[in-house]
Amino acid sequence: MSLKRLNIRGISYSQTQNGAYALILKESGGNRQLPIVIGAFEAQSIAIALEKEISPPRPLTHDLFKSFAERYGIVVKQVIIHKLVDGVFYSSLICEKDKIEEIIDARTSDAIALAVRFKAPVFTYENILDEAGIQQHMQADKELIQEDDEDEENEILEDLINTAEGEKNDYSNLSLDELNKMLKEAVASENYELAAGIRDEISRR
């Protein structure tokens, strides 16, 4: 069975499962997209790893795993989503140490969160895309981001913030200096949802 590379297309809130998110993976060089339901913690972890402007003051669980692995010379080379059973995706981490490969079973959400941190490619099999993939321009409970890859990454956290809080905070009456101060305080207190909302307001200005 041939492997197909997948790229992260976006994250959107799932209206069908309370507290869950839909991670959208797009087939490289093709039109199919693979929606995978993940939890809120994993969605935030993936979004923060993709975010270029927010650096957590303390390591998240997946950051800790990466630091631990690197300290002992272990590298995640790639992630393979190898099985789909009753709507559940099964994944493997392909790891390497001293030129010896090991395969580790992992939840797909955790595997993707680690793949982003290790800059490792994500693959799946053709038959899984045939079974669960849907054509581009689909909607997963809410409209997906339709912008360039760089803009797309900057918008992912904003989607998480809007759905978690219900609506955006109104920062229109605050100056840029006040917003920058609030941003530093939010990051220092590890309130990444608030930090992302403030960051987006600064970027819009």
State the CATH class of domain 3-135.
Answer: alpha beta
pLDDT (0 to 100) of residue 140 = 43
pLDDT (0 to 100) of residue 109 = 95
pLDDT (0 to 100) of residue 162 = 47
Do 114 and 105 meet the contact criterion of CB atoms below 8 Å apart? no
Task: Please list, in sequence order, all residues whose beta carbon lies within 8 angstroms of the beta carbon of residue 18, skipping any fewer than 6 positions away.
Answer: none
pLDDT (0 to 100) of residue 15 = 57
pLDDT (0 to 100) of residue 170 = 63
Q: How far is the C-alpha of 199 from the C-alpha of 65, rounded, in Å?
A: 27
Neighbouring C-beta atoms of residue 63, cutoff 10 Å: 18
Neighbouring C-beta atoms of residue 2, cutoff 10 Å: 7
Do 51 and 157 meet the contact criterion of CB atoms below 8 Å apart? yes
Q: Which of 66, 54, 34, 30 is nearest to 144 (CA)?
A: 34
Buried b (16+ CB within 10 A) or exposed e, 98-135: eeeeeeeebebbbbbbbbbbbebbbbbbeebbeebbee
Q: How far is the C-alpha of 27 from the C-alpha of 81, rounded, in Å?
A: 13
What does the CA dihedral 134, 138, 144, 148 come to, rounded to 10 degrees? 80
Do 22 and 14 meet the contact criterion of CB atoms below 8 Å apart? yes
Do 107 and 120 meet the contact criterion of CB atoms below 8 Å apart? no
pLDDT (0 to 100) of residue 138 = 43
pLDDT tens, the chain, 205 aa long: 689 999 998 888 765 566 678 899 999 988 899 989 898 889 889 988 888 666 777 888 999 999 999 999 999 999 999 999 988 999 999 999 999 999 999 999 999 999 999 999 999 999 999 988 887 644 444 444 444 444 544 454 555 444 433 334 567 788 888 888 888 887 777 666 677 677 767 777 7
